[in-house]
Chain A
Amino acid sequence: MALLEVKDVSSGYGYGPDILNRVSLSVESGTAYCIIGPNGAGKSTLLKTVAGLLQPRRGEILFDGQPIGGMRPDLVLATGICYVPQDRSLFPEMTVRENLIMGGFLERDRAVLSDRMEQVFEMFPVLADRASQHAVTMSGGEQQMLALGRALMIQPRVMMIDEPSLGLAPQVADQIFDIIRRLGELQITLLLVEQNVVRGLAATDWSFLLDLGVLRLEAPSDEILDDPRIRELYLGRQLAGSHPPTDQGEES
């Protein structure tokens, strides 16, 4: 049985049109997935809908066979699905340590929390150095590490990461992706949205291609990268390595 199943889901913002249009996909445990597609394809919308931040307008979402579509975000998180948004959504006026404590908000056992914080500090030594610093004062890369570290505080089963390399220098993005590749060792199933398609595909096993809210194609990540049709049709400019698109617009 699939770990996470999205069945025929449509979703959008406020009174606006459907951004996600009857998408179905299924996610197996222990696999790393990349969601690719041009701007406005509905990639972020898909993650937000699964996370409970948006209500699906139709269709259902199953996790471990249980329906989670339309559930409150805190209850979705409690099932083990966490979301790292592209703006990182830190608590600017809390310290790194307090941000991590908030990440473990659902875990009431303090001993467990301090163990996990140690693990996060091991993965991200820079966070340990900055433990008493306010999040707002950190660099973009450090903030992204904090966002990932904060998500790890609940030991999620599925991690949905939206544009982790957005706005980061290439070397910093490399560091972030080194960490993301290690999530598999922690038995975490990854759902990644990444504007740098080459990087995103290289870090994952399987990919979904979304376009205008519709699932166009799914294939092993290394095959998508090699398929000339896909390159030309959807990703040409990005793969040519010109200017990376700024994925803001209605998705931000």
Chain B
Amino acid sequence: MTHTIQVVILGLLLGGVYALMASGLTLMFGVMRIVNLAHGAFIVVAAYMAYLLFQGPGWDPFLSLVVIMPAMFLLGVLIYRFLFPPIESSPRFGEMTVLLTFAVALIVEGLLGFFFTGTFRTTDPPYSTEAILIGDLFIPKAQLYASITSLVLLAGLGAFLRLTRTGYAVRATMQNRTAAQIVGVNVRGVSTLSFGIGMALAGASGSLISFLFPFFPNSHWRWIAILLSLIVLGGLGSIKGAVIGALLLAVTAALISDQFGPTWSPMTFFGALFLILLIRPRGLFGQETRV
């Protein structure tokens, strides 16, 4: 029993970080209908930033996060403003974003390989190998801190969306873009902001995974595959769904890995993806119809 609780706790801690990664991705889809296949690549970019700041000035990844988030926000604003206007009026906008961001992911991967080589990297702050013992339960500090940070950031995102005027504008745009336009929301501005926020969340996730998982330029494929299955499970465009989907799947993956060996853990995500598409294609919290 203790063992199972232990596995569930580890799954939940990891799920918190997955939730942070997935929330940015689902926000971008919700507001702009952009399927951002480069989200994983930008998470890895942020991990390299954290790595550089750790190796150079010796910054702790939690300190780096404070710098990386605004840097990635700005990068996101630039990317959105330069990359997307040419395809904006295309009747196949959704499909075009898949191709466009796929290309971006390849370019980013190539650049990372050029500058950092294919070697595995990681940051190893002191707490990355420490743990807290509560009775028989073993809680690794790195995962605990990362998870808490993720939850704080997600709560911040939730508060922004629920309580501020701009947050209302973002939610309105997610629910019905035309409606948002006719009540006076500048949807271009909201889109730029949301893309920036999504990138800032990728930045935060990257700083956190820098000490959770060793990474190299190619790692992002693994992340984006998992993230896409998470947000489809939760319902595309639903942040609540992304969070619940992430926690659910991370725990399931941990249990399966414990029972059948880690080889089967990634299968959880894709198995769940198949199931949800068969049973409930709009996901747990997806909107029934999209206008």
Contacts and interface: CB of A to CB of B under 8 A. Distances in A.
Interface of A: 14, 51-53, 72-74, 77-78, 82-85, 87, 89-94, 98, 101-103, 105-106, 108, 150, 154
Contacts of A82: 182
Interface in B104-157: none
A53 B291 contact: no
Given A14-B89, A91-B176, A103-B183, A72 B168 contact: no
B238 to A, nearest CB: 10
Interface in B71-115: 89, 91
A85 to B, nearest CB: 7
B175 A72 contact: no
A150 B185 CA distance: 14
A105 B169 contact: yes
Contact of A92 (B169, B182, B188, B287): B287
A49 to B, nearest CB: 13
B182 A51 contact: yes
Contacts of B91: 14
B168 A101 contact: yes
Nearest to A14: B91
A78 B178 CA distance: 16
B171 A105 contact: no
A92 B176 contact: yes
Nearest to B181: A73
Nearest to A104: B183
B179 interface: yes
A250 to B, nearest CB: 12
B186 interface: yes
9 contacts: A74-B181, A82-B182, A89-B176, A89-B182, A90-B176, A91-B171, A93-B175, A102-B168, A108-B165
Interface residues of B, number: 21
Interface of B: 89, 91, 165, 168-169, 171-172, 175-176, 178-186, 188, 287, 291
A74 B291 contact: no
Contacts of A72: 186, 188
Nearest to A154: B184
Contact of B184 (A78, A90, A93, A94): A78
B184 A106 contact: yes
Please give me the 10 A-B residue pairs with the lowest Cβ-Cβ distance, nearest first. Answer: A89-B179, A106-B184, A73-B181, A74-B184, A77-B184, A91-B175, A105-B184, A74-B186, A105-B183, A102-B183
Interface centre among B169, B185, B188 (most CB of A within 10 A): B185
Contacts of B287: 92-93
Given A77-B182, A89-B176, A93-B175, 14 more contacts: A14-B89, A52-B181, A53-B181, A77-B184, A82-B182, A85-B178, A89-B178, A91-B171, A91-B179, A94-B172, A101-B168, A105-B168, A105-B183, A105-B184
B290 to A, nearest CB: 10
Contacts of A14: 89, 91
Contacts of B188: 72
Contact of B172 (A52, A83, A102): A102
Contact of B175 (A52, A92, A108): A92
Nearest to A135: B175
Contacts of A83: 182
A246 B134 CA distance: 67
A105 B175 contact: no
B179 A74 contact: no
A231 B186 CA distance: 43
Given A53-B178, A89-B176, A94 B171 contact: yes
B160 to A, nearest CB: 16
Contacts of A150: 183
A93 B285 CA distance: 11
